[in-house]
Amino acid sequence: MANLNLVKDGPIQVKGSFELKGPDGNPIDCKEQIFLCRCGATNNKPFCDGSHSKSGFSD
């Protein structure tokens, strides 16, 4: 089971047991903890690359 946590003004933290699939339906290799972008500014989709701090994203 995966646990989701919204990081203030940042990504979604996903921890635990889960499988991430790309738009083609194939699994994306990832670790037991990942940070998914929710601001849209990342250059490494679907993962957060820290760009949210420069983009001024807040939530």
14 touches ligand FES by CB under 6 A: no
Burial of 11 (0-12, 13-18, 19+ CB in 10 A): buried
37 touches ligand FES by CB under 6 A: yes
3-state secondary structure 3-16: EEEECCCCCEEEEE
Q: Which is nearer to ligand FES, 34 or 42 (CB)?
A: 42
Q: Which is nearer to ligand FES, 3 or 55 (CB)?
A: 55
Count of other CB atoms within 10 angstroms of residue 48: 21
Q: Which is nearer to ligand FES, 1 or 50 (CB)?
A: 50
Residues that bind ligand FES (CB under 6 A): 10-11, 37-39, 41-42, 48-52
